[in-house]
């Protein structure tokens, strides 16, 4: 089945990820696989950084890691092996890169119901589905 399951987590909406973590943990447990939770924080550049504290990036990465650890413990409580990683950059690009780097064979992603703006601009889940080199399971709310 699937032995390396990647679950993208939005650190700003970590509570939304519970269903994806539960599904990934169940799949991983069946195949004695591993769940990796990946959180992506945006890379801030330009004049925006002038208005932020000097340690903003460090604090944002630490906060994301703390949220991922809570979710990883949830997966472990279901009997799955789980670890975490935080990447900095564009969400779908970093998720695709992490899947390639780690050798994921499944990405489990939560997705909101599409809105009109999503149809025009595209969502991270849609981009992941289009560009992933492995299977993608999209879970709706």
Strand partners, 41: 88
Instruction: Look up the pTM and report it.
Output: 0.88
* pLDDT score at 113: 61
DSSP for 11-41?
Answer: GGGGGGGHHHHHHHHHHHHHHT-EEEEEEEE
* pLDDT score at 27: 96
| pLDDT in 10s for each residue of the chain, 141 residues | 899 999 999 888 888 889 999 999 999 999 999 999 999 988 777 776 677 777 878 888 999 999 999 999 999 999 999 999 999 999 989 999 999 999 999 999 987 665 544 444 458 888 999 999 999 999 887
* pLDDT score at 107: 97
């Amino acid at each position: 089945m699937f032995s390396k399951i990647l679950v993208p987590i939005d650190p700003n909406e970590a509570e939304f990820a519970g269903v994806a973590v539960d599904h990934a943990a169940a799949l991983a447990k069946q195949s004695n696989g591993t769940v990796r939770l990946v959180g992506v924080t945006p890379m801030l550049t330009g004049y925006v950084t002038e208005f932020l504290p000097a340690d903003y990036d460090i604090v944002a990465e630490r906060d994301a890691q703390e949220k991922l650890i809570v979710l990883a413990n949830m997966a472990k409580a279901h009997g799955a092996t789980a670890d975490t990683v935080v990447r900095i950059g564009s969400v779908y690009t970093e998720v695709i890169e992490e899947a390639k780097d780690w050798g994921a064979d499944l990405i489990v992603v939560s997705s909101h119901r599409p809105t009109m703006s999503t149809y025009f601009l595209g969502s991270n889940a849609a981009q992941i589905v289009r560009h992933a080199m492995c299977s993608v399971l999209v879970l709706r709310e």
